[in-house]
């Protein structure tokens, strides 16, 4: 077959491959640079020009205490807001896809609003609200702000994932004597759990990453993005790259875990797993 390729077809293939490689480079070059420059040995305060390979940044990843503190703040905020937003968002998604109720159309609209309106508007208006109520800026305001946009995100992604869920499965569970609670936890929940986890991971990333809304509502609290932004005018220590690379590796390993779990599940359904029962 391949011998029968004409010159034109071969050139066509080369062109497609070239475009694909260029697109990959475009996507991955910044990430590669981040990882690469975590091994740089910069002169001065700015880690911008390659000065030679070193491991010293990796030996002291937490050498910059402001950066480390900011990362801890971000993680704390992200964990709390993600847990709250996932629970609330899951409930919204479930009720919207299961029931037709009065006002479900309005809820649908409100759900999309935070995703479509500019962050600068959300952030500033939320800040105005807090100021008007005399709320002190800090953890609470940042977490509330993050939950706000994460809830929409979780609900919308999860609703898309559970569209087409076969609700007769719940009926079947109750028919077999399960209480509505048991039917949910034994049947519905395990089946939609992958969707919930995916939505949670993505919204966690949104929280870690958020700058604009956080900026308006943080007060004196400094999250990781705020710290980097503030510091970049005076110094860009290589620790930024080290911590960013760590976060990157963290998310890659999560993806690998997810992939392996998926593979194992596939194996079970293909009948390689033995033994019946539990």
Partner 1 sequence: MDANDPVVKLDHVRKQYGSFVAVHEADFAIGRGEFFAMLGPSGCGKTTTLKMIAGFEQPTDGRVLLEGADVSQVPPHKRNVNTVFQQYALFPHMSVFDNVAFGPRAKKISEAETTKRVNEMLDVVRLGEFASRRPAQLSGGQQQRVALARALVNYPSALLLDEPLAALDLKLREAMQIELKRIQREVGITFVFVTHDQGEALTMSDRIAVMSEGRVEQVGAPQDIYMRPQTLFVAGFIGSANLLPGTVASVDGGVIRIDLVGGAQVAVSSSQCADSVDLAVGARVTVMVRPEHAILGNGSEGLAVSVTDTVFQGSSMRIVGRLSNNTEVVALAPIDPSAPTPVPGSQCSITWHATSPYVLGGWPETAGSTTTNVDSIEAAL
- Binding footprint of partner 1 on the chain (CB under 8 A): 166, 168-169, 171-180, 182-183, 186-187, 190-191, 268-271, 273-278
CB of 105 to partner 1, least distance (A): 21
Q: Nearer Cβ to partner 1, position 28 or 167?
A: 167
- A 10 A CB-CB count for 127 gives 20
**Rounded Cα–Cα distance for residues 266 and 272 (Å):** 9
CA–CA–CA angle 232, 224, 134 (5° rounding): 110
Q: The tokens of 171 are what?
A: 């009926």
Backbone angles phi, psi at 48, to 5 degrees: -125, -35
Here the contacts of 121-130 (C-beta below 8 Å, separation 24 or greater) are 122/148, 122/149, 122/213, 123/212, 123/213, 123/214, 123/215, 123/216, 123/217, 124/216, 126/213, 126/216, 126/217, 127/216, 127/217, 130/217
Q: Nearer Cβ to partner 1, position 116 or 275?
A: 275
Handedness of CA 182, 185, 189, 191 (dihedral sign): negative
Q: Nearer Cβ to partner 1, position 79 or 191?
A: 191
Q: Nearer Cβ to partner 1, position 5 or 268?
A: 268
Q: Nearer Cβ to partner 1, position 33 or 193?
A: 193
Q: Nearer Cβ to partner 1, position 250 or 262?
A: 262
CB of 274 to partner 1, least distance (A): 7
Cα-to-chain-centroid distance, residue 263: 22
Taking the CA atoms of residue 85, residue 91, residue 96 and residue 98 in that order, the dihedral angle to the nearest 10 degrees is 150
Cβ(219)–Cβ(136) below 8 Å: yes
Q: The tokens of 160 are what?
A: 């898309």
Q: Nearer Cβ to partner 1, position 10 or 182?
A: 182
Q: Which residues pair with 46 in a beta bridge?
A: 236
């Amino acid at each position: 077959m391949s011998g029968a390729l004409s010159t034109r077809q071969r050139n066509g293939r080369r062109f497609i491959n070239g475009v694909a490689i260029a697109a990959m480079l475009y996507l991955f070059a910044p990430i590669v640079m981040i990882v690469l420059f975590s091994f740089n040995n910069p002169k001065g305060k700015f880690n911008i020009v390659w000065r030679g390979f070193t491991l010293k940044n990796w030996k002291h990843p937490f050498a910059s205490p402001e950066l480390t503190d900011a990362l801890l703040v971000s993680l704390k905020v992200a964990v709390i807001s993600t847990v709250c937003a996932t629970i609330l968002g899951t409930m919204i998604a479930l009720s919207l896809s299961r029931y037709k109720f009065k006002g479900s159309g309005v809820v649908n609209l409100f759900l999309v609003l935070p995703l479509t309106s500019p962050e600068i508007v959300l952030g500033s208006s939320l800040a105005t609200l807090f100021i008007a109520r005399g709320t002190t800026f800090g953890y609470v305001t940042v977490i509330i702000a993050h939950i706000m946009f994460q809830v929409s995100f979780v609900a919308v992604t999860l609703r898309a994932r559970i569209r087409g869920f076969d609700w007769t499965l719940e009926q079947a569970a109750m028919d077999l004597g399960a209480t509505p609670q048991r039917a949910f936890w034994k049947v519905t929940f395990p089946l939609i759990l992958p969707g919930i986890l995916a939505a949670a991971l993505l919204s966690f990333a949104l929280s870690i990453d958020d700058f604009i809304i956080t900026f308006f509502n943080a007060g004196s609290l400094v999250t990781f993005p705020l710290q980097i932004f503030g510091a970049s005018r005076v110094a860009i220590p290589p620790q930024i790259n080290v911590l960013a690379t760590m976060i990157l590796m963290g998310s890659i390993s999560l993806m690998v875990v997810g992939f392996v779990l998926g593979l194992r599940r596939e194996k079970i359904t293909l009948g390689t797993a033995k033994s019946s029962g539990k």
